[in-house]
Amino acid sequence: MIRRGLRRAALFIVALALVAVTWELYVAFGPEDGGEVLGMRILPRASERAMPHTWEMGQRLFDPEVRGQDRPIWLAVTGYAWYTFRMALVGFLLGCTFGIALAVLMSRFRVVERGLLPYVVASQTVPLIALAPQVAALGGNWDLPKWTWVAALGAFLAFFPVSVATLKGLSSTSAASLELMDSYAASWWTTLTKLRFPAAMPYIIPGMKLGATAAVIGVIVSEVSTGVRGVGFASLTYAQKATSDPAQVYTAVFGAALLGLAMFGLVVGFELLVMRNRPAEGSS
């Protein structure tokens, strides 16, 4: 277990180093004003302004946010990321609760599934950037702090994968097990808690992994359009200063990436806890 953990950590560092090396190679040998592939301008400019050196980014972490301050930027970014993390976590938990409840309802009543599923799918194609200010404005009427609405928008993206995965999981209980519960004259609720739900866990957890990432994206995007000062908002303000301080925006990108990893890690921890006694994947 510990050895596997160490090996994973080592692999992670190797992967990180590879990314850095690729980055530097591109900065060194890439086209100075970007490039075209099949007539489309998609290759980024390899200029130092657009793609600062990795070591400059690293160094930048220890300089202050604005000239003259003592606080290094990594501390500031960590603060923003922590704020965003809390909103994303609330959003994720909210999304899981809602998504699972919805899936239970849909698996219980076929009518609900037929009636609701199209809307559930459609809900995910609503452009969140456009929606976020409206929702936040709406929130003003309700006298709730702005961050609750940002969290709600995170939940809005998180519930979907959780719901779809749970629905699939709840409907893939083996017929023999259901028959067994039937032979005990077990109620619908008992069958759900003792059989359907635990049996659905291997489906629900991957859905939660997607949901955790989706919550982070939802919160970051909503911050930008609502002005809640988390890591998403920070990346926007930093990006506006990109010409004079190109490395700064990447410190916010690191913050966001770290936060995404933390959310994902949380779900992995949950998985280890719940699945610790299950057969290893692949065997049965």
Partner 1 sequence: MNNSAVVNPVPSDAVVVDGVSMVFNEGQQNQVEALGSIDLVIRPGDFVSLIGPSGCGKSTLLRLIANLLDPTAGSVLVNGKSASQARVEQDYGMAFQQSGLFEWRNVQKNIELPLELKGWSKARRRERSAEMLELVKLSDFAAHMPWQLSGGMQQRVAIARALAAHPPLLLMDEPFGALDEMTREHMQAELLRICAAAETTVVFVTHSIPEAVYLSNRVVVMSPRPGRITEIIDVDLGDDRDEDSREDDEFYARITDVREALRGADRVAGARGIEDR
Asked if 283 is part of the footprint of partner 1 (rule: CB under 8 A), the reply reads: yes
Stretch that binds partner 1, among 17-25, 58-66, 152-160, 169-177 (CB under 8 A): 169-177
Asked if 258 is part of the footprint of partner 1 (rule: CB under 8 A), the reply reads: no
Dihedral sign of CA atoms 26, 31, 37, 42 in order: positive
In the complex, least distance from residue 190 CB atom to partner 1, rounded to whole angstroms: 6
For partner 1 (CB under 8 A), the number of binding residues is 21
In the complex, least distance from residue 206 CB atom to partner 1, rounded to whole angstroms: 17
Asked if 174 is part of the footprint of partner 1 (rule: CB under 8 A), the reply reads: yes
**Member of 30, 34, 198, 206 binding partner 1 (CB under 8 A):** 198
Pairwise CA distance, residues 118 & 271, whole Å: 30
**Member of 126, 130, 185, 273 binding partner 1 (CB under 8 A):** 185
**Member of 194, 224, 253, 266 binding partner 1 (CB under 8 A):** 194
Asked if 184 is part of the footprint of partner 1 (rule: CB under 8 A), the reply reads: yes
Partners of 41 in the β-ladder: 36
Asked if 146 is part of the footprint of partner 1 (rule: CB under 8 A), the reply reads: no
**Member of 118, 127, 279, 282 binding partner 1 (CB under 8 A):** 279
Query: What SS3 string covers the chain?
Result: CHHHHHHHHHHHHHHHHHHHHHHHHHHHHCCCCCEEECCEEEECCCCCCCCCCHHHHHHHCCCECCCCCCCEHHHHHHHHHHHHHHHHHHHHHHHHHHHHHHHHHHHHCHHHHHHHHHHHHHHCCCCHHHHHHHHHHHHHHHCCCHHHHHHHHHHHHHHHHHHHHHHHHHCCCCHHHHHHHHHCCCCHHHHHHHHHHHHHHHHHHHHHHHHHHHHHHHHHHHHHHHCCCCHHHHHHHHHHCCCCCCCHHHHHHHHHHHHHHHHHHHHHHHHHHHCCCCCCCCCC
Of residues 120 and 181, the one with the C-beta less far from partner 1: 181
Asked if 179 is part of the footprint of partner 1 (rule: CB under 8 A), the reply reads: yes
Of residues 30 and 198, the one with the C-beta less far from partner 1: 198
Stretch that binds partner 1, among 68-76, 89-97, 185-193, 265-273 (CB under 8 A): 185-193
By CB under 8 A, the residues from 69 to 108 that bind partner 1 are none
Asked if 59 is part of the footprint of partner 1 (rule: CB under 8 A), the reply reads: no
Binding site for partner 1 (CB under 8 A): 174, 176-177, 179-180, 182-186, 190, 194-195, 198-199, 201, 277-279, 283-284
